[in-house]
Amino acid sequence: MENIIQKRFKESAEVKNRFLKENLSRLLDVIKLISHCFEAGNKLFFFGNGGSAADAQHLAAEFVNRYIMDRPPLPAIALTTDTSILTSISNDFSFSEVFAKQLKALGKEGDVAIGISASGTSPNIIKAFEVAKEMGMKTIALTGNDGGSLVKIAEVSLVVPSSSTPRIQEVHILIGHILCELVEHYLFLNNPAIYGGDGSR
């Protein structure tokens, strides 16, 4: 058991370090993209399936409430939380439509959609990205393996270089935490003309 524990910690650290080496500049681009979205008065949407649905809710909460600093809430929405919407769309149409229809109802040009999929092949995320692009929204994929179909659609892709779903998901939540921390830093410490340095508007 000790060997397995040590192996998993080592694997996780190695995947994280490799991701950072390959994606640092891209990660900085995503931080700026999300920050500019909020500066313009737009919204951030998160969605995914299974464990990625939980990550979507987790990250939306960090933006709406707070991550590290006390500051005004930021408009982030997880499209994975309303069981009546999810089940009605699935029942009346198709599960592949559950996120796309919500984006059509709630999104607008300039908003940012973040789809989380370890495989990069989730049909409902692919469909949502297609709709988002039609609406003039920016799209960001958090994925793994070779990125799947999402990398061909997303404006920006953060691909975790691993075929292990647990390792991919561990990097996804780290990415999400970094996005929260540095967007807070960018908006509330680096923009005194818009936001006070103490976290107040």
> Is the pLDDT score of 50 beyond 90?
yes
Measure the CA–CA gap between 14 and 27, rounded to whole angstroms.
Answer: 18
Q: 191: pLDDT confidence band, cut at 50, 70 and 90?
A: low
pLDDT of residue 199: 43
- The residue written with tokens 């990625």 in the block is 52
> Is the pLDDT score of 148 beyond 80?
yes
| Cβ–Cβ under 8 Å, residues 30 and 140 | yes
Other C-beta atoms lying within 10 Å of the C-beta of residue 185: 15
How much is the mean pLDDT over the chain?
Answer: 94
Measure the CA–CA gap between 166 and 55, rounded to whole angstroms.
Answer: 13
Amino acid at 103: L
Residue 100 vs residues 112, 120, 159, 176: alpha-carbon distances, Å: 13, 16, 22, 22
Q: 198: pLDDT confidence band, cut at 50, 70 and 90?
A: very low
- Complete domains list, the chain, with CATH: 2-188 (3.40.50.10490)
Largest Cα separation within the chain, whole Å, is: 55
pLDDT digits (tens, 9 = 90+) for 94-147: 999 999 999 999 999 999 999 999 999 999 999 999 999 999 999 999 999 999
pLDDT of residue 192: 52
Q: Residue 58, exposed/middle/buried by CB under 10 A (0-12, 13-18, 19+)?
A: middle
pLDDT above 70 covers a percentage of the chain that reads 94
